[in-house]
Amino acid sequence: MVNMKNTHVFSFKWMGLFILASSFFFCGMSQAKNKPIRVSNKMVAAADSVPNLQNGLAKTPPMGWNSWNAFHTHIDEQQIKAVADAMVKDGMKAAGYKYLIIDDAWLGMHRNNKGRLIANPKRFPHGIKALADYVHGKGLKFGIYESAGTKTCAGYPGSLHHEKVDAETFAKWGVDYLKLDNCYNQGVSYIKRYSDMSRDLQATGRPIVFSICEWGVKDPYQWAPKISNLWRTTGDIQDNWQSVMTILDQQVGLYKYAGPGHWNDPDMLEVGNGGMTTTEYKAHFSLWSILAAPLIAGTDLRHMSDQTKEILENKDVIAVDQDPAGIEGHKALDNGNQEVWVKPMQDGSEAVLLLNRGPKRAFMTITAEQAGLKKATYYKMKNLWSHKYKRTDDLIRGYVPSHGVVMYRVWPESN
């Protein structure tokens, strides 16, 4: 869904087009909120005929940057190159963000006379291969956006019925990551549309992360793990707290579908875009990490504040997201406005996140046992935002600010 506040960047013209194109999307979302749509055995069988995606990629949730949340359709070559420079200079690359992904509006309005996609000649005069080369030259990976429909959401040529030639074009350009959207899908079976692209990407022989952006409409976790590395579980994130909480609620119970090579995707990060407080952005980032979500930053890295940098580059929180066991966290306790989310880690420790959705600061506690930790003489705890250690016999507790989190990593210890 579009950010209503951002009408200056996402004009009403686009909005009209988008609504028209995505009637499926909107009716799907209202259904998604109420009751999951059941996927029939026949549909799953259709996906079974496609070879398993075995590209060896995304062993941990992909990390990177995508142009959409910062720039929407206003992208161009110079600006994207400057973002690539910034990713290296400002420590994002060193913190683990490796994919630079250009979203909608990179395309020319028409295919060329060989039926191939071309870059928008005004915005990307040197073409996509040159841009990919530049990004690779920075030691980063390059990603691109398309739609499994006749057009992208912003109205550029889509990949539906052109999967083979487009997959080949992407491979030739040096694309390392494809995000495939759902606009203008003409009601063609989603499993067919996404399976076709999965098969054709694999046939190129180039390892390309495959990111399905189907907005969670048709329970993608039931069919997408086999054919993709990640799949969106929700409509579009917006830069506000309500949106983050709505998305969080849609993740409950999905942890069993995620693991190395295949991840639930609650959409990209809004950290740094100005619509939330620093406390709320810390909570957003912590929650995405406990969910083992792809960490795809979406702010203008050319002008990142120190606060935004501190959040996006918090190594302790990133380590939770990137834990090699690849276990998505789940909700262990729910007291209305107060929730506790836990994520088992490979070394036997656990990430424990106390979330306060309420309007006032709250004192929260959970026992080690309730958090799923094994019995121990005592527990060593690291606060992942203050980076300080302490010990506890049993209770994990803290004052949690309104719309905020306290996040610990807890190790069972015995003398």
Q: Smallest gap, in angstroms, from Cβ of residue 220 to ligand GLA?
A: 13
Please, which residue, 273 or 314, has the CB nearer to ligand GLA? Answer: 273
Residue selected from 77, 90, 104, 163 as contacting ligand GLA according to rule CB under 6 A: 104
Query: Tokens at residue 350, please?
Result: 């656990």
Is 214 a residue that touches ligand GLA (CB under 6 A)?
A: no
Q: Smallest gap, in angstroms, from Cβ of residue 215 to ligand GLA?
A: 6
Is 248 a residue that touches ligand GLA (CB under 6 A)?
A: no
Residue selected from 47, 95, 213, 291 as contacting ligand GLA according to rule CB under 6 A: 213
Residues 138-177 that bind ligand GLA (CB under 6 A): 145, 152-154
Query: Tokens at residue 282, please?
Result: 């810390």
Please, which residue, 107 or 351, has the CB nearer to ligand GLA? Answer: 107
The answer to whether residue 181 is catalytic is yes
Please, which residue, 213 or 318, has the CB nearer to ligand GLA? Answer: 213
Number of residues that bind ligand GLA (CB under 6 A): 11
Is 181 a residue that touches ligand GLA (CB under 6 A)?
A: yes
Q: Smallest gap, in angstroms, from Cβ of residue 268 to ligand GLA?
A: 7
Question: What mask, x for binding ligand GLA by CB under 6 A, covers residues 45 to 74?
Answer: -----------------------x------
Pick the catalytic residue from 196, 236, 321, 323: 236
Whether 70 contacts 273, CB under 8 Å = yes
The answer to whether residue 48 is catalytic is no
Q: Smallest gap, in angstroms, from Cβ of residue 178 to ligand GLA?
A: 12
Pick the catalytic residue from 181, 200, 219, 267: 181
- Judged by the rule CB under 6 A, the positions of this chain that interact with ligand GLA are 68, 103-104, 145, 152-154, 181, 213, 215, 236
